[in-house]
C-alpha cells in the first residue's frame, strides 16, 4: 500500500492521488464498483486531508468512481458475468453466486442477466455443480458405496450450506455410482478399475485438486503425483 504523504495537497492533487490508488487497486484485484468504493472510504476517512472536508469525501469518491465507470475501468456488468463464470467452474450453486454478487454491490439487473444466461445455457446447472462439489469434497456418490447411507444426512447438510435446494441435493446423493462416474468423465470397466475418457478430463481432474473458497483463496492443494491424485490404469 502506497502511503499518503502528510504534506499539504491541493484539491486537484487529492483527486489525482485517489485515481492513482484506484488504478493500482483495479490492476491488482479487478474489483466491483462497491469493492473499490469501500477500499477508498477506508483509506481516506481515516486520513486527514487539509484540502478536503471529511463530509465531502464520499462525494469526491463517487465522482472518481463515476469517471472510472465512464471510461470502463470498472464495469459491474462485466464483473458479474466473469465472476459468475469463475464461480460456476468451481462448483458454486446459483444461490451462492447470487448471494456473492449481491454482497459485492452488483445491481439486481446485472445479477438477473448473469443468472438468466447461466440457466439458458444449462437448465440443470445446479445438478452438475453439486456433482462437482461431491467430487471435490469426496461426499455422496464419491464415497465408498457402503458409507453413502451412513453419511446421507451430513452430505445433505454440506450441499445445503453450498446453496443447493433439497431436491437437487437429494437427486445428486441418490445418483447411481456408474452414472456418477460417467457424469464426471470416468468409465467403469470389468476389472473394477476406472479410466478417464480423455486428456481434457485428466487435466480437469488434476486441476480439481486445488481447492479454493468462493473468493479464490487456496484452501488445500494436493501435489500432482501424490497418491491422492494418481488414478489406476
The pTM score is 0.73
Output 39 or 1, whichever has higher pLDDT. 39
* Contact call for residues 36 and 74 (beta carbons, < 8 A): yes
Mean pLDDT across the stretch 86-111? 96
pLDDT at 207: 45
Mean pLDDT across the stretch 25-42? 96
Q: What confidence category does residue 31 fall into, taking pLDDT thresholds of 50, 70 and 90? A: very high
Q: What is the DSSP string of 60-82?
A: HHHHHHHHHHHTTSS-HHHHHHH
Digit-coded pLDDT (tens) for 135-190: 999 999 999 999 999 999 999 999 999 999 999 999 999 999 999 999 988 655 54
From 18-22, 53-57, 77-81, 213-217, the region with the lowest mean pLDDT: 213-217
pLDDT at 229: 42
In the DSSP assignment, the letter for residue 146 is G
Q: How many other CB atoms are found less than 10 A from the CB of residue 81?
A: 17
Residue 10 CB partners (closer than 8 Å, separation 6+): 51
Mean pLDDT across the stretch 10-32? 91
pLDDT at 35: 97
Digit-coded pLDDT (tens) for 52-80: 677 788 889 999 999 999 999 999 999 99
196 φ/ψ angles, rounded to the nearest 5 degrees:
-85, 155
Mean pLDDT across the stretch 103-113? 97
Residue 231 has pLDDT above 60, yes or no: no
Distance separating alpha carbons of residues 31 and 37, to the nearest angstrom: 10
pLDDT at 14: 82
Closest CA to 41 of 102, 97, 84, 105: 105
Residue 137 CB partners (closer than 8 Å, separation 6+): 158
Rg, C-alpha atoms of the chain: 23
3-state DSSP call for residue 196? strand
Amino acid at each position: 500500500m502506497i502511503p499518503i504523504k502528510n504534506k499539504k495537497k491541493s484539491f486537484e492533487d487529492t483527486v489525482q492521488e485517489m485515481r492513482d490508488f484506484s488504478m493500482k487497486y483495479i490492476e491488482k484485484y479487478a474489483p466491483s464498483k462497491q469493492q473499490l468504493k469501500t477500499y477508498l472510504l477506508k483509506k481516506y476517512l481515516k486520513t486527514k486531508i487539509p484540502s478536503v472536508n471529511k463530509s465531502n469525501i464520499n462525494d469526491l469518491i463517487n465522482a472518481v468512481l463515476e469517471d472510472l465507470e465512464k471510461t470502463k475501468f470498472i464495469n459491474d456488468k462485466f464483473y458479474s458475468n466473469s465472476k459468475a463464470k469463475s464461480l460456476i467452474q468451481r462448483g458454486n450453486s446459483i444461490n451462492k453466486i447470487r448471494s456473492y454478487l449481491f454482497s459485492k454491490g452488483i445491481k439486481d439487473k446485472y445479477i438477473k442477466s448473469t443468472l438468466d444466461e447461466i440457466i439458458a445455457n444449462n437448465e440443470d446447472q445446479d445438478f452438475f455443480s453439486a456433482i462437482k462439489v461431491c467430487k471435490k469434497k469426496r461426499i455422496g456418490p464419491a464415497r465408498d458405496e457402503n458409507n453413502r447411507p451412513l453419511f446421507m444426512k451430513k452430505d445433505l447438510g454440506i450441499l445445503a450450506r453450498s446453496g443447493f435446494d433439497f431436491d437437487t441435493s437429494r437427486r445428486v446423493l441418490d445418483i447411481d455410482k456408474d452414472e456418477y462416474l460417467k457424469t464426471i468423465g470416468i468409465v467403469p470397466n470389468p476389472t473394477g478399475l476406472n479410466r478417464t475418457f480423455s486428456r481434457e478430463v485428466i487435466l480437469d481432474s488434476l486441476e480439481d485438486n486445488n481447492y479454493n473458497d468462493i473468493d479464490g483463496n487456496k484452501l488445500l492443494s494436493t501435489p500432482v503425483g501424490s497418491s491422492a491424485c494418481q488414478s489406476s490404469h
